[in-house]
Structure 1
Amino acid sequence: MTAVVDHVPPRAGGQDTAPRTVALRLLGPLEIVVDAREVPLPQRKLRQLLATLLVRPNATVSNDTLISELWGDHPPATALAAVRVYVSQLRKFLIRHDLDGRWCTLRTRPPGYQLQVNDGVLDTVCFDRLCALAAESAEAGHHELASRQYREALALRRGPALQDLRESPALAGTALQYDEAWMTALKRRIDLDLSLGRHLELIGELRRLVAEEPLNEGFCARLMVALHRSGRSGDALAAYRGTRALLIEELGIEPGLELRMAHQTVLTDDTALRLRARASA
């Protein structure tokens, strides 16, 4: 959902050279892309300032919050003056790349500052909107559409959110929230695909996810379902044993309810699962 504006007003007195597409990206390293080209980002303090404003788009962010984000618990005595300097530098950066006033607008809003962002520009906003649409589609029974909408949302991620700016506790906390939201959307998309009978196609993806997140019981449970529906109950039980052993070894705990239920489903050879597997074969 990278924004595309077809009617940008031309500059007075000459040919318009304004960017036609702009994306501000937080779902991965902080990134600005203008007309498919990545813009070199400013120095680190300005990147922190930009990220702090972008995680609260269109909201006023107080000077106290900005100072805390930029310097933590030990700000310099000149912190407030430094914030003003950094805001001025950030505004010049946005103007230099023809972003301010067209794609986003940095405003002074006592007791702090506000970065207004045009619709469709910021990836986190696009992600939230697509997930909300997918949830509505799923609730209405449109599982195919919901799966596509979740896929579009998931494709916005380029890596752990704000992975280059996680030394700030508040930004790190927000980044983890984005990561969790992405993980939730991924599991919901997999559940939709399972409901659509795509268990065979999902096995490879789920094996990769289990290998990447070996302690994530949700991925293992879904792999077991996909294997069982594909007539591979033995492999499903082997996956359970492997994850259970790892949970005990690494965390000293038994599997939780979701994984235990998947295990019981395979052991009892749930008829409904078998019928769905045959119907989709």
Structure 2
Amino acid sequence: MDIDVLGTLGVRLNGVSVTPTAPKPRQVLALLALRAGQVVPVGVLTEELWGSEPPRSARATLQTYILQLRELISAALERGAGDAGGRCCQAKDVLLTVPGGYLLKNGDGVSDVREFERLAGSGYRAMDAEDHPQAARLLREALALWTGSPLADVHTGPQLETEVKRLEESRLCALDQRVEADLRLGRHRELLAELTVLVNQYPTHESLCGQYMLALYRSGRRGEALDAYQRLRTTLVRTMGLEPSPTLAKMQRSILMSGSDMLPARPAASASVVPVG
């Protein structure tokens, strides 16, 4: 079973889609697919579908959705068996009922989330080893798996909203490190267009702003680098009552002094911000 969630939802068995069109069965499949190989408790699925006040018929309705998913799985299995000229497993062996919940098995199938995590993890290790060409390549491959916002075509309840936020944060971390690797390879001018978009998309993200400032400064655009800092500071003070981190403030002072020994480092992703005075 192949699973795609980094964009629109796609779940395929033997190359056949088993993704339902109805919204709630689609939610159920999305949560099971994200946690493939793990037991998803009935209570978790119920909360995803109906929040904190499920109807009295919630369990029976959930069972109906599971049966609908198994029908799609059965059709895919029968097609696979026909193509292979033999007998295959049953739907209940793919979407299992287990004590307390359900479990979706994807076997040897490909999951774009797991592939993203594998590539990003290798990229982070390459960064730690200061192998910046390898880090940039691996992180670029990881990010290329994203075709849009995660589960872009799925209605999300409390459980899936948490998963989507987690995935978006993972993507932003990988993007941050990929930009950092490219900066350390001297690709400052090549990054300017991308960073211009990113700092507008994430106007309070200090790490991206620091990378943008550095790319501008090293491209001979000192004034624009200082302007970027002031825009960030204004936004932070207005929206959060906070000053930029000491690390970013130090970078701004270095640019003001036009020091030729500017380090290629940027504020750490976890850098704190301090309250306005």
TM-score computed with the length of structure 1 as normaliser: 0.80
Q: State the partner residue of 1:114.
A: 103
Q: Mark the runs of 5 or more structure 1 residues left unpaired by the alignment.
A: 1-21, 277-281
Q: State the partner residue of 2:146.
A: 157
1:213 aligns with 2:213: no
Q: State the partner residue of 1:74.
A: 53
Counterpart contact for 1:120–1:126, Cα < 8 Å: no
Q: State the partner residue of 2:112.
A: 123
Q: Secondary structure at the match of 1:206?
A: helix
The aligned runs of 1:34-113 (5 Å cut-off) are 41-98=20-77, 105-113=94-102
- Give CA deviations for 1:34-57 in whole Å, capped at 9, x if unaligned: 899977633111111101112212
Instruction: Check 1:258–1:159 CA distance in 2 against 1; reply closer, same or farther (3 A cut).
Output: farther
Counterpart contact for 1:200–1:230, Cα < 8 Å: yes
Q: Mark the runs of 5 or more structure 2 residues left unpaired by the alignment.
A: 81-87, 266-277
Instruction: Check 1:238–1:216 CA distance in 2 against 1; reply closer, same or farther (3 A cut).
Output: same
Counterpart contact for 1:218–1:258, Cα < 8 Å: no
TM-score computed with the length of structure 2 as normaliser: 0.81
1:184 aligns with 2:184: no
How far 1:225 moved relative to its partner?
0.7
**CA distance in 1: counterparts of 2:38 and 2:238, whole angstroms:** 46
1:259 aligns with 2:248: yes
Q: State the partner residue of 2:272.
A: none
Q: Secondary structure at the match of 1:264?
A: helix
Which fold has the larger relative contact order, with Cα–Cα distance below 8 Å and residues 6 or more apart in sequence? 2
Q: Which moved more, 1:163-172 or 1:107-116?
A: 163-172
The letter of the residue matching 2:201 is E
Q: Secondary structure at the match of 1:215?
A: coil
Q: State the partner residue of 1:201.
A: 190
Counterpart contact for 2:9–2:19, Cα < 8 Å: no
Instruction: Check 1:199–1:38 CA distance in 2 against 1; reply closer, same or farther (3 A cut).
Output: farther
Q: Secondary structure at the match of 1:226?
A: helix
**CA distance in 2: counterparts of 1:101 and 1:229, whole angstroms:** 60
Q: State the partner residue of 2:271.
A: none
Q: Secondary structure at the match of 2:243?
A: coil
The aligned runs of 1:16-35 (5 Å cut-off) are 23-32=2-11
How far 1:274 moved relative to its partner?
8.2
Q: State the partner residue of 1:8.
A: none
Counterpart contact for 1:31–1:41, Cα < 8 Å: no
- Give CA deviations for 1:61-88 in whole Å, capped at 9, x if unaligned: 1122222222222222222222222112
The letter of the residue matching 1:256 is S
**CA distance in 2: counterparts of 1:187 and 1:275, whole angstroms:** 14
- Give CA deviations for 1:206-257 in whole Å, capped at 9, x if unaligned: 1111122222222211110111122221221121122222333333332233
Q: State the partner residue of 1:7.
A: none
**CA distance in 1: counterparts of 2:28 and 2:118, whole angstroms:** 25
How far 1:155 moved relative to its partner?
1.4
